[in-house]
Amino acid sequence: MWNALTDAARELANRSDIRVVIIRGDGDVAFASGADISEFGKARRSSDQAEAYHATVQEALDAIEAIPYPVIAQIRGFCIGAGTAIALACDLRYLDASVRFGIPAAKLGIGYSPPWIDRLAQVVGHSTAAEILMSAKLFDVEKAQRCGFANEVLPVEELDSFVSERATLFAANAPLTLRAAKTCLRELSKPEHTRDWSSVVDAAQRCVDSSDYQTALKAFAEKRTPEFLGE
Amino acid sequence: MWNALTDAARELANRSDIRVVIIRGDGDVAFASGADISEFGKARRSSDQAEAYHATVQEALDAIEAIPYPVIAQIRGFCIGAGTAIALACDLRYLDASVRFGIPAAKLGIGYSPPWIDRLAQVVGHSTAAEILMSAKLFDVEKAQRCGFANEVLPVEELDSFVSERATLFAANAPLTLRAAKTCLRELSKPEHTRDWSSVVDAAQRCVDSSDYQTALKAFAEKRTPEFLGE
Amino acid sequence: MWNALTDAARELANRSDIRVVIIRGDGDVAFASGADISEFGKARRSSDQAEAYHATVQEALDAIEAIPYPVIAQIRGFCIGAGTAIALACDLRYLDASVRFGIPAAKLGIGYSPPWIDRLAQVVGHSTAAEILMSAKLFDVEKAQRCGFANEVLPVEELDSFVSERATLFAANAPLTLRAAKTCLRELSKPEHTRDWSSVVDAAQRCVDSSDYQTALKAFAEKRTPEFLGE
């Protein structure tokens, strides 16, 4: 499943006919209920296997983060363990009121991967990250909203329409601006010495040099809504 | 307007008869409704012009941040685009319930300046920053309070008196302590390799060596309220 | 008192029969009402004395942070000045509704120690940190919850049982996982160039190599609750 996720994310990253990506679970029960623990006995028995497993998951998370469009996690039901790691690799998380999220690593004696803890702490803060990891408990949406895990919490019956409204909104905006914003936020979330700041400056520069920018200024003067081409 | 803001901030920074600065909009409609987009066709047509424009705005924001006193943004109505950048250059943001804030760069194909995105993400967190930038939407005070953009949200009729109460409170406190706190928070918000940590240590040291500190200890022993001179 | 705190924390850090540490005030009135200001005239008169005092407090805070188990601050009543610094050295803060917290350094002309400001800003964010330091005011639990100082706020009569429930929950989890999570969060909160990342990797590695992990996999397959030994 992780390799399939990597492949799908890489394919989406290379398509030019896309403006927004939505990641959601199949069905109503869960966004992702975590890794298949019954397989750990085989797949993560030794240190070498565990390292290989973490590398495979990390590859998928990196591929999601590298998608140059806004990536929305549309979350309902269970969002657990590696499922939270996927949710955190997205730019935004919209939840319905049924969500239960958490990281049960401490019930299994597993070391949750340090880069995922880093990302968790960036989104929910150090204190909530500590509570999530040390309790291994599932939390509800009240906590998700309070700690910043959820960008928005919707009633169960409204999540679909809310997410599709937001996706439409993002899709109508200038792709180069979104790419520049995403590039900047992504590099800022990395340790300072590994940041590629020139890519951030380049992405901002591309906006100024774009024909989309000229189109928008003209549309503004004529009180029209511009149509952006990402060029 | 940006040059005037820079000049005003620099003048205030050099005056010794000041304890607190409040930045507010003129009138009831807005804190700042953003840059004058109708001028972009002229002022930001080329890359060079855009770079010059950003540098001018950055100069004003730096001048606000360099004011060695608490700087309060008193925000009502619209707080948009470069207006949010001004608000974020202040130490504190007090809003009334009428506020609508947002960054519409993605509707114009503009690249929002990377240092402003950095500051935005520091105050509201990465997820909300992504949502603000990718939606280009205006948000209300409920979001402002939840994401930490607002230090406090007041009913429309109470904002004036609340801000003036807080300003009075800050003004009665020891100026050297406030300066030390501000110096520390400001350096902490910079990338690590550009921090001037010695200025932080110096500012803390100046408190211990001050006559204000001796005055306060004496007043404490005598159960009086001390009057601070900033010396 | 600071030396006693250092000694107690170091002793707890070295015991292997411990799973969780709870720090609470003596009695109902306060978690810690701050340093004894009436002693400052003697103990912090000169720069040298102030530096020695700060070093003593820092030693106690470091000793608390070095405890390799989850450390909970159970907070009721006043939590002021150096008391907030102790609370912030803990991993988690559970408060009852009676709490009033704040840092009155600016009423005394003291420079609040820069490393404590760093930690404060990490937990409550830069804006709230500025407000706390510049106002020197006491805030209530509504603010504590909003800014992330409180992991949870409980009614006065429920704090004891809530904390003991959470402590029991933490204590039943795999100690090596908790240690790995804590090591990672602790290093992430340090300036980047001072982080000991190899200790984070080692702590995660120890989980995979542990017999606790094998025990847990077996228990999972047999639908039993595992008992963790920290080995």
Statement to judge: residues C136 and C162 lie in one domain: yes
Report the number of distinct structural domains present in chain B: 2
Statement to judge: residues B114 and B181 lie in one domain: no
Statement to judge: residues C137 and C180 lie in one domain: no
In a domain, A206, yes or no: yes
In a domain, A229, yes or no: no
Q: Which of B130, B148, B170 is the last residue of a domain?
A: B170
Statement to judge: residues A114 and A196 lie in one domain: no
Kindly provide the ipTM of the predicted complex, given to two decimals: 0.95
Statement to judge: residues C166 and C178 lie in one domain: no
Burial zone of A131 (CB within 10 Å; 0-12 exposed, 13-18 middle, 19+ buried): buried
- Give pLDDT tens digits for B129-161: 999 999 999 999 999 999 999 999 999 999 999
In a domain, A227, yes or no: no
Statement to judge: residues C182 and C160 lie in one domain: no
Residues of C in contact with B68 (CB under 8 A): none
In a domain, A230, yes or no: no
φ/ψ of C77, rounded to 5, equals 65, -140
In a domain, A231, yes or no: no
> Could you tell me which residues come within 8 angstroms of residue C49 by beta carbon, excluding any fewer than 6 positions away?
C43
Of the partner residues C131, C137, C192, the one whose CB lies closest to the CB of residue B192? C192
Record: contact A122-B118, CB cut-off 8 A: no
Residues of A in contact with B111 (CB under 8 A): 176-177, 180, 203-208
Nearest CA in chain B to A210: B109
- Give pLDDT tens digits for A12-58: 999 989 999 999 999 889 999 877 667 666 666 677 788 888 899 99
In a domain, C228, yes or no: no
Question: Helix, strand, or coil here: B139?
Answer: strand
- Give pLDDT tens digits for A88-108: 999 999 999 999 999 999 999
Statement to judge: residues B144 and B100 lie in one domain: yes
Per-residue pLDDT at B45 = 66
In a domain, C229, yes or no: no
Statement to judge: residues A160 and A178 lie in one domain: no
Integer CA distances (angstroms), A178 to A89, B53, B133, in order: 17, 21, 7
Statement to judge: residues B160 and B206 lie in one domain: no
Q: Which domain holds residue C164?
A: 2-170
In tens digits, chain A (231 residues) has pLDDT values of 899 999 999 999 999 899 999 999 998 899 998 776 676 666 666 777 888 888 999 999 999 999 999 999 999 999 999 999 999 999 999 999 999 999 999 999 999 999 999 999 999 999 999 999 999 999 999 999 999 999 999 999 999 999 999 999 999 999 999 999 999 999 999 999 999 999 999 999 999 999 999 999 999 889 999 999 999
Q: Which of A170, A194, A211 is the last residue of a domain?
A: A170
Statement to judge: residues A154 and A204 lie in one domain: no
Statement to judge: residues B116 and B179 lie in one domain: no
Q: Which residues on adjacent β-strands are paired with residue B100? A: B78
Low-confidence ranges of chain C (pLDDT < 50): none
Per-residue pLDDT at A52 = 87
> B207: distance to nearest CA of chain C, Å?
5
Question: Helix, strand, or coil here: B215?
Answer: helix
CA–CA separation, A118 and A189 (whole Å): 9
Q: Enumerate chain A positions whose Cβ falls within 8 A of a Cβ in B.
A: 70, 91-93, 122-123, 145, 148, 151, 166, 169-170, 173-174, 176-178, 180-182, 184-185, 188-189, 192, 197, 200-201, 203-210, 212-213, 215-217, 220-221, 226, 228
Instruction: Quote the tokens at residue B216.
Output: 């306060």
Record: contact B134-A170, CB cut-off 8 A: yes
In a domain, C131, yes or no: yes
Record: contact C106-B148, CB cut-off 8 A: no
Residues of A in contact with B134 (CB under 8 A): 70, 91-92, 170, 173, 178, 181-182
Whether the per-residue pLDDT at B39 is higher than 90: the answer is no
Statement to judge: residues A52 and A108 lie in one domain: yes
Residue C42 belongs to a domain with what CATH number?
A: 3.90.226.10
Helices marked H in A32-172 — which ranges? 40-43, 47-65, 82-89, 105-108, 114-124, 126-135, 141-147, 159-172
